[in-house]
Amino acid sequence: VMVPCHEILARAKAEGADIIGLSGLITPSLEEMQYVAGEMQKDDYFRIKKIPLLIGGATTSRVHTAVKISPHYDGPVVYVPDASRSVGVAQNLLGDAKGAFVSELGADYDKVRTQYANKKVTPLWPLAKARANKTPIDWASYQPTAPKFIGRRVFKNFDLAEIAQYIDWGPFFQTWDLAGPYPAILDDDVVGVEAKKVFADGQAMLKKIIDGRWLTANGVIGLYPANRVGDDDMALYTDETRTSVALTWYGLRQQAAKEEIDGVMRPSRCLADFVAPKITTNNVAACADMTGARGLKTLKDYVGLFAVTTGLNLEKKEAQFLAAHDDYSAIMLKALADRLAEAFAECLHHKVRTDLWGYAPSEALTAQELIAEKYQGIRPAPGYPACPDHSAKKDMFALLHCEDIGMTLTESLAMNPASSVSGFYIGHPQATYFNVGKIGDDQLQDLAARRGLDAKDLQRLLAPNL
């Protein structure tokens, strides 16, 4: 949701809108959608007319719509899985079949809410117990690699042809509602013919994008000395003296109860587990117990950050297609810009691993192995399962000076331009992705204290995890 609620509702009244549609790409949008539904319920104009509210976007779901949004508004609240189905939904809501459609929808949502209420809930461990079960890493036998430089490095007008070599085409077909793995989808009995068509069209437009420089690719990375501080946070320092903190990255730890598998207890992970701890007089014994090495000194570890965009100039070209009533090309352009943004992130991460940070200088992976993330290290992004807090982007964008490459954040913490990617780099060989999942109130309160915030301010940011 890029537009404030009051603007949406005011415009709907002014235009006499029959339906209001909300699309959410990131998790803060979910809370905003609930707020919009609640405001519609408070307003006689919408409540009495029962103006329908359509819900869609990458972060939304049928369950979330039924359980979290629909109860806030008496009018129809309809989850629409993708844009191609919105016309049919609108016809049902505005035509003679409206009564039956809304009645059937209500019955379906009641069923979903009942199933959700009866769903088995995984018990949560106390935060202290989860912390005691952190990822076991033998820091005594690990030597971090120092990067070639400390600080920022900017990449402007990056070669689109080089970026294109890193494209993962799998998600491209999902844009066109075509399901199946690439390249097998091209020979699929059901969607193969259509998949080949959009793939050929995509390849043709990609060539035009590269040859005509339709889009501009800008990026920035930062590599900084870093250590874990406390149990769950990482301090990134301005230089190797490690005395001045440039950014504190606050982590969240899994609290779902864990079990032993083949005699080994599954760890309660936090991204901070994969960064060497800062040894202090308060934790030296704990660190020694963890590594089996007494008198352990603080290892000089490192963490990276990045932000890339391939969305610069996109709106200008998109407007040309829309002016010519060529919606297909406009959608194709945005789909390719999104693929190029992800590919740019992959391209720079490869350069970081093999050269700029250089902890994997002899890496030799195929394109498919890169897509399958067979390399050492991870690049977790705020808003994703291992790092669900979008607000981390504020400090990240400030440290990287993302405005220098044309990237900004909206009020709802979405990246602008839309075809952009940002995140962190962690290089430890055991670093892996995971889902933080549900957290307890004890962790919420602890995080609020560490960040110096009111817990209520964090509730909206972390609503899906509470």
What SS3 class is residue 356?
helix
In a shared domain, residues 329 and 425: yes
Highest mean pLDDT of the ranges 3-7, 21-25, 276-280, 337-341: 337-341
In a shared domain, residues 350 and 281: yes
- Domain with 41 in it: 5-118
In a shared domain, residues 58 and 141: no
Lowest-pLDDT range of 115-119, 277-281, 309-313, 367-371: 277-281
Main-chain phi, psi angles of 238, to 5 degrees = -70, -30
Examine the pLDDT at 10 and tell me if it is beyond 70. yes
Examine the pLDDT at 73 and tell me if it is beyond 90. yes
pLDDT, position 32 = 87
DSSP string, 144-197: PPPPS-SEEEEE-S--HHHHHTT---HHHHHHTT--S-TTGGGG-TTTHHHHHH
Single residue among 101, 118, 135 that ends a domain in this structure: 118
Single residue among 118, 137, 160 that ends a domain in this structure: 118
Distances (CA, A) of 221 to 135, 328, 331: 27, 34, 29
CA-closest candidate to residue 414, choices 366, 459, 382: 382
In a shared domain, residues 79 and 159: no
Quickly state the pLDDT bin for 24 (edges 50, 70, 90). confident
pLDDT in tens, 284-293: 666 665 555 4
3-state secondary structure 8-43: HHHHHHHHCCCCEEEECCCCHHHHHHHHHHHHHHHC
pLDDT in tens, 177-206: 888 899 999 999 999 999 999 999 999 999
Quickly state the pLDDT bin for 297 (edges 50, 70, 90). confident
Q: Tell me 168's DSSP state.
A: -
In a shared domain, residues 332 and 205: yes
Residue predicted with more confidence, 113 or 283: 113
CATH value at residue 283 = 3.10.196.10
Single residue among 118, 144, 166 that ends a domain in this structure: 118
CA distance 73 to 103: 15
pLDDT, position 295 = 54
Residue with tokens 């889902």: 435
In a shared domain, residues 28 and 175: no
Mean of pLDDT values over 391-401: 97
Diameter of the chain by CA atoms? 78
In a shared domain, residues 143 and 232: yes
Mean of pLDDT values over 98-122: 89
In a shared domain, residues 224 and 100: no
How many structural domains comprise the chain?
2
Mean of pLDDT values over 331-347: 97
Half-sphere exposure of 49 (CA within 13 A, CB side): 17
E-strand ranges in 61-106 read 77-79
Percent of the chain past pLDDT 70, that is, above it, reads 96
Vertex 230 angle, CA 455 and 272, to 5°: 90
Calculated CA dihedral for residues 366, 200, 339, 168, nearest 10 degrees? -20
pLDDT, position 294 = 44
Mean of pLDDT values over 429-442: 97
In a shared domain, residues 189 and 331: yes
Residue predicted with more confidence, 9 or 279: 9
CATH value at residue 102 = 3.40.50.280
CA distance 336 to 311: 10
pLDDT in tens, 122-173: 899 999 999 999 999 999 899 999 999 999 999 999 999 999 999 999 999 9
Residue 177 backbone zone (phi > 0: left; psi -120 to 50: alpha; other: beta): left
In a shared domain, residues 174 and 189: yes
Examine the pLDDT at 65 and tell me if it is beyond 50. yes
In a shared domain, residues 193 and 86: no
CA distance 246 to 380: 19
pLDDT, position 289 = 53
Distances (CA, A) of 2 to 17, 343, 414: 19, 25, 8
In a shared domain, residues 113 and 130: no
Mean of pLDDT values over 315-326: 96
Contact of 69 with 34, CB cutoff 8 Å: yes
